[in-house]
Amino acid sequence: MEFISAIISPFVQSLMDPVKKQLGYIFSSTKLVRNMNAKMKQLDGTILDVKKHMERNNISNLEIPARIPSWLEEVEKTKEKAQSIPSTGNGCFNMKMRYRAGRKAFKIMEEMESFIDENSKITWSDAQRPLGKVNSKIASSSSPPDAGAQNHFRSREKSFKEILDFLQQDHKSKVIALCGMGGVGKTTMMEQVKKTAEDKKMFDYVVKVVIGQQINMFSIQQAVADYMGSSLTEMSKEARADRLRITFEKLLEGKRKVLLILDDVWETIELKDIGLSPLPNGFKLLLTSRYENICKQIAVEADSDLKIVRVEVMEEPEAQNFFWEITGALKHDKELNKIGTKIVRRCGFLPLAINLIAIRLKFEEKVAWRDTLRRLENKNLDYVQESIKISYEYIQEEEEKAIFLLCGLFPDDFNIPIEELTRYAWGLRLLNGVSTLGEARDGTETHVHSLKKANLLMDGDDDDDGCVKMHDLVLDFVLGRVSKGDHPWIINHGDNSKWSSAGMSESCNRISITCRGMFEFPRDFKYPNLALLRLMHGDKSLTFPEDFYQRMENLEVIAYENMQYPLLLRSLQCSTRLRTLIFHKCLLMFDCSVIGELLNLEVLSFAHCGIRKLQSTIGNLKKLKLLDLTGCVNLHIDDGVLINLVELEELYMRVADEEAIRFTDSNRVELAELSNHLSALEVEFFDNNGMPKNMLFTELKRFRISMGCGLVENTDKNMHSFENTLRLVTNKNELLESSINELFEKTSVLYLEVDGMNDIEEVLVESVHLPQQSFNNLRVLDVIKCKNIRYLFTVPIANCLMKLERLTVSKCPVLEVLAHSENGGDGVIKFQGLKFLSLKMLPELIGLCNTANVIELPQLVELELDGLPNFSSIYPEKTSATSSMSSNVSAIQPFFNKGVLIPKLEKLRISRIDKLKEIWPYQFSSSDEVNACMLREIRVRECDNLVNLFPTNPMFLLGRLEELHVSSCGSIKVLFNIDMSCVGETEEYSSSLREINVSNLEMLRELWRMKGESSSDILIRTFQAVESIEIQECERLVNVFTPTVTNSDVGILMNVSIDGRRPCEARKRNIELVQKSKEINVISKAEIISEVDVVFEIESSSSSSTDLTTTLHKYNHQPPPLLLPHLKELYLVNMSRMSDVWKCNWKKLVIPQNQSQSYSFHNLTNIYMEKCHIIKYLFSPLMGKLLPNLKEVWIRWCDGIKEVVSNRDINDENEEIISSTHTNTFSFPLLDSLYLDSLPRLKSIDGGTTITTTSIHDQFKCSQVGVASWFLCQYSKKIEIYNCPALSRVFPSNVVGQLNKLEELRIKECKSMVEIFESKEINKDGVDSTTNVGDGSDDTCTAITIPRSANMTLLQLPNLTILVISKCEVLEYIFTSSTLESLKQLKELTVAECKAVKVIVKEDTEHTEKSKSIIVFPRLKSLTLVDLPDLKGFFLGTNEFRWKALEKVKIYGCPQMMNFTSGHSKAPKLNYIHTGLGKHSLDQYGLNFHLTNATHEVCRFMMFNILFAYKN
């Protein structure tokens, strides 16, 4: 037995041990939990030690073991698991709970012991950490002090995102440059990019080196080494570079990613000197520089593409906010606000200038602000212009400096034409070594381009590509520089009405003056050293001295712009050195033949002048190289003029289709002969002005020529840009005979409307051996109304259109394809540079090519398809056969075949494609084959058979899509019909869609519909970026947002506009606009009461949860989702069945306790409601608590509206909410306008003191808790009320003492208006002496006036400036006398057509004794009393009035008015009174004058005892 026992015992023991262990979990559960808690205290001590060690190392920038951060994370997770085990309360008999608690405690205790043991083995080296190492890196301390203030610059968000995209490792560009003018904020943006890259751990190392103007390579190498944590002991530059290269190579071996930042680069940096030439994979180089050319040179050495991100000046609102944030000044100080606004504008929105000035003005008095503005306006702030001075002095070429300074001749914010600079530079001989104007133009454009790259000049406006601009501060620098020295410039574009040449140096070299307001030039206008004279904007009254030009013997350039009658000059009066004479937009209605005497003239322009004839004397200008007759309407040229201009190089004669230059036969012959040596020609040939025979085009380098049409279409938008252009409206034979096709090879813009042309190749020059090279320079091609053309190009020609950017083909009735292949073996077709493609009204088009070629459109951004009847889809099915030249055009085929590649398409516009059923295949679920993931804008209209706008998985399209516009598509029922089964379980999507606009979609029922189930762990943020939704004329629309959109997030929705017009009013529809989040339920369509529409119905899914604690627990201790917190504008139009805008369960909606927190609807600024006839009120006082940013409320033509703000929500159920929130009642600090128009049932704006409850006790209770303690009208700055016949009072007595914000009040056609400001007398019990009893028409109880406070203040209107009252038939007075003392700001008072008005100011007997005997109106300027048949006087009390500013009084139609005021009145500025009989002078008639009314049968004497005293 012992033997058996010895064998069995261990076996039994091995079986019993697990059992004992499991039983131990039950019986030792409490002990295990207790031991676990003890172990956790030990672990807490270890954690505390580790964190303290980490903190010390972070402060000292020492290394932290790599395992420590993850160790802490894992420990925290274990602690969370331990805290989930209850220490007590598992119960003695609940074996399952005891087992689980004991087992879990045992496991956790083992983990804790493992963590403690592991920590004891971790070694802390405490070595110095490399500055550039990102992991656990402390925040950079080098950020500018105001970097935070720039984080909200919305205008720079796009640039910021672009930089981050370029820094991604999968982007091929390794070099990124931030370029901009000095002080624009390049370094600040770089710091923000650096911080973001570090926070996102995009790189393992971030190395930043400031370069500066003087390159010190040893210092740069040392800075790089410091950031990398390596030492440089070598002494030579080359050896140190090798050491850095070895360091970088070691990083590459570990697949480390490095960002190198070179800040403030002024010269080319040799990357090989820091061991990075070429730039290795895994490295990115970020540059900041004023000079783009320098960055390009660095990118070449790095062997990388360069991406330049230009940093522009701020937008004005950003600049203003930036300034006020730094100064900390209060903007409500009107004078300070005005000065500050001007300072920011004078700084040209340049961040550095604003920052420097704002810091200096912080805590300063107004006198310092005024002085700063004065100095800015006088260009006298050196510390602001220092950075511009550095950039200017860095320009190495003197010619470039001269061109730069020449830009200072133009006014602020002026589009400076580069062509004008060229003509000035030619006349002033600024360009060395040029012999022709073409060479001069090349030189000028080169210098201008260089100055733009140096950010001393900026691009002109978008519609003026041939212009540049100069920043205001740069212009200030130029003006400061040229106004000094031995030969200063005189530049004045301000108010010159009193301008004088006194005190100006006779040695001045250049003058540029705006003559607006001037009547004559000074007689002493003598400047013998003057080389350039430029005068602008002089009207007909401006006169010149007869000897104006006599003391200007060195004049080389004269330019007159917008001068009505400039003074013409003769050779005896003027310098023989004059080379350039420019008249631009001048009348010149007189003889210009004297100009023919200026024999040395080389540039002459009459552009857009009123000249009607070019006299023969102009032919005397043998040296003339440029003649500009642009815009000279109906000009006649004398015979012999053109032929005698033997040196002419450039001739410009563009006018307009019907007003072009009228060529004689001699003119055409001369022009043909002149064409032998012209290098530039701009001319229009059409109608009787046909192209001359024997025209030669071989020497032309610059041209714009039209046949059969004008040039205006292509040139109006870009007045100053110039591209070689041909517009040919002719037939094939005439085109070939003219030989103008010789210019195709040089043409950039080509418009063809050629009859008889079968393809473009037919009109090429026959001698061309390689026809595909004929369009090498073509950028824009328009082919219109070519009736015979079946295809545009052959494939070889299509592939050679390397520069083609815009292609438009329209109204070609037999065109089938764009590119045609004879044998089908031409391979890939690639439109290398095409950005815009428009195909319109092409009934036979069946594809881009007649074969199965792969077609690449790598740069295509915009695509317009209009009137293409043969396509049923745009993108192909996965298994779709490729498009072919088939006779069976009725077969369903997509516009693109499977081989089309369009990776950059951003804008897609589709119109009038009758057969179109879908754009994308409905079942598409992947973006790999559709080439559409870059789309930003989709516009679709008039496609009646289109059913599916998007595929069932549209997520791949929503990543970048921003705008969606759909109109007049009669078959669309749902915009987004999303099948969740197609989306996928592991995919997470985000959207950029911000604007949705749909109109006239007859069948549209919903915007979104989601089918199927998705994992609850996946949040598909399909529409989180939507800012604006506009819906018009969609008669069947049921839902905008529905409960089925369970995971939608439209949190930043800012604008909602619904025009509910429905042609068929018999249909009963419900339109809902609701916000749906996981725990907030919206009544679905089926639950809505018939014929009741609610825009926002807010209800909690829980029927029992009423406290905030429970609510937070449901949201994992987070606040419940906010409802449309970014909604800014709400438009409700023609909502004929809408009964409520907001309908809320106030128990479930969290009311904010302070305005600093975010909450539902808190950004709503504008509410516009029109033609909504059922609704009775807009919102309740409780809803008003959520609208602190409300700015405008407009309600028009709503027949059912009785109140704007109503107390109808007050009942026993929500009384507790009212009581708990009344102490935190919000005002409307931003409310600007309240506009009410044509509301026939409106009785009260705010419900007033009328509370519709069932008992007087309840009414009194409501008044005590403050439900109506705020009123919309008391916060409005401007109130306008028109045609509200049921409204009897505007301002209830509760608010008459709280109208401090009211500035403008206009009331018209309110027939029941008894009082504007309620002023009921109060009895001794503090209750109104009258009681308002309702008319019983309402479905509420009788309305009774509630008690009023005994200490109610008097009416005060301290900021009222304008008051206009008209057509209020029962109104008897406007104010009471107690109000007059508060009208300190009143400027305009008008009362008209009010039949019952007896006095303007009613005497207030209660306050007569307290009121002052003298009443002053300090600012009232205008007083109008018109058609007031019962008016007795302005005021019949005995007070004296003083009208200090009164200038205009108009009184007529007031037959009962015998006294204006009973007391004396003084108006020192009043000289006249305007009456129905005319203007009457007080000087003439004295204080008393007689008026007769001839329209009465009995004329009676009227005497106005107006008693206005004179100034003395």
pTM beyond 0.85: the answer is: no
Mean pLDDT of all residues in 509-536: 85
For 472, left (φ over 0), alpha (ψ -120 to 50), or beta? alpha
How many CB atoms lie under 10 A from the CB of residue 13? 10
pLDDT at 61: 61
Q: Extract long-range pairs of 638-643: CB within 8 Å, 24+ residues apart.
A: 638/613, 638/614, 639/664, 639/666, 639/667, 639/670, 640/616, 640/666, 640/670, 641/614, 641/615, 641/616, 641/670, 642/667, 642/670, 642/671, 642/674, 643/619, 643/670, 643/673, 643/674
- Please, which residues have CB within 8 angstroms of residue 1442's CB and are 6 or more apart in sequence? 1414, 1415, 1416, 1417, 1465, 1466, 1467
Cα–Cα separations (whole angstroms), residue 701 to 437, 679, 746, 748, 925: 12, 5, 8, 12, 53
Beta strands in 411-464 (DSSP E): 416-417, 458-459
User: Out of 166-170, 251-255, 854-858, which region has the weakest mean confidence (pLDDT)?
Assistant: 251-255
Cα–Cα separations (whole angstroms), residue 254 to 204, 274, 279, 468, 1077: 11, 20, 17, 49, 46
pLDDT in tens, 1036-1062: 777 665 544 434 455 556 667 766 554
Strand 1080-1081 to 1093-1100 pairing: antiparallel
Check whether 1263 has a pLDDT greater than 90.
no
Of residues 1082 and 582, the one with the higher pLDDT is 582
Note whether 866 and 840 are within 8 A (CB). Answer: yes
Q: Which two tokens stand for residue 903?
A: 């990776």
User: Out of 364-373, 441-450, 890-899, 1370-1379, which region has the weakest mean confidence (pLDDT)?
Assistant: 890-899
pLDDT at 420: 95
Cα–Cα separations (whole angstroms), residue 510 to 491, 528, 532, 600: 8, 11, 5, 20
830 forms beta bridges with 856
Check whether 704 has a pLDDT greater than 90.
yes
- Computed on alpha carbons and rounded to an integer, the radius of gyration of the chain in Å comes to 41
pLDDT in tens, 328-357: 877 667 788 888 888 888 888 888 888 888
Check whether 931 has a pLDDT greater than 80.
no
Strand 1006-1011 to 1138-1144 pairing: unpaired
How many CB atoms lie under 10 A from the CB of residue 701? 14
Whether the link from the prior residue into 278 is cis, omega within 30° of 0, is: yes
Residue from 1315, 1238, 1229 nearest 1282 by CA: 1238
For CA atoms 452, 454, 457, 461, the dihedral sign is: positive
pLDDT in tens, 1275-1295: 788 999 999 999 999 888 777
What burial class does residue 665 get, using C-beta atoms within 10 Å of its C-beta: 0-12 exposed, 13-18 middle, 19+ buried?
exposed
Phi, psi of 1363 (to 5 degrees): -135, 120
Mean pLDDT of all residues in 1466-1472: 84
Note whether 1146 and 1217 are within 8 A (CB). Answer: yes
Distance CA(31)–CA(37), nearest Å, equals 10
Q: How far apart are the first and last CA of the chain?
A: 142
What burial class does residue 292 get, using C-beta atoms within 10 Å of its C-beta: 0-12 exposed, 13-18 middle, 19+ buried?
buried
Check whether 678 has a pLDDT greater than 50.
yes
Band the pLDDT of 1330: cuts 50, 70, 90. Answer: very low
3-state DSSP call for residue 1426? strand
Check whether 722 has a pLDDT greater than 60.
yes
Band the pLDDT of 713: cuts 50, 70, 90. Answer: low
Strand 1192-1196 to 1388-1392 pairing: unpaired
How many CB atoms lie under 10 A from the CB of residue 209? 21
pLDDT at 821: 82
Strand 467-469 to 458-459 pairing: antiparallel
For 1284, left (φ over 0), alpha (ψ -120 to 50), or beta? beta
pLDDT in tens, 1434-1445: 888 888 888 888
The conformation of residue 847, written as its DSSP 8-state character, comes to -
pLDDT at 625: 96
Packed helices 2-27 and 95-121: angle between N→C axes, nearest 10 degrees:
90
Q: What residue type is 376 in one-letter code? A: L
Distance CA(757)–CA(735), nearest Å, equals 10
Beta strands in 989-1147 (DSSP E): 995-999, 1006-1011, 1028-1032, 1055-1059, 1080-1081, 1093-1100, 1129-1133, 1138-1144
Distance CA(727)–CA(1355), nearest Å, equals 73
Of residues 976 and 1420, the one with the higher pLDDT is 1420
pLDDT at 87: 65
**In 229-283, which ranges are continuous DSSP H helix?**
237-253
Q: What residue type is 1109 in one-letter code? A: T
Distance CA(822)–CA(838), nearest Å, equals 25
pLDDT in tens, 1090-1140: 233 677 766 543 333 333 222 323 334 444 556 677 778 888 888 877 888
Distance CA(624)–CA(603), nearest Å, equals 6
Q: Which two tokens stand for residue 447?
A: 């210098």
Q: Which two tokens stand for residue 1246?
A: 């705010």
1289 forms beta bridges with 1315
Q: Which helix (H) or strand (E) holds 532?
A: strand 532-538
pLDDT in tens, 802-835: 899 999 999 999 999 998 887 765 678 888 899 9
Packed helices 95-121 and 29-60: angle between N→C axes, nearest 10 degrees:
30
pLDDT in tens, 52-108: 777 776 666 677 777 777 788 888 888 877 777 776 655 555 566 677 777 778 778
pLDDT in tens, 1211-1257: 555 555 544 544 344 467 788 899 999 999 999 887 644 433 434 34
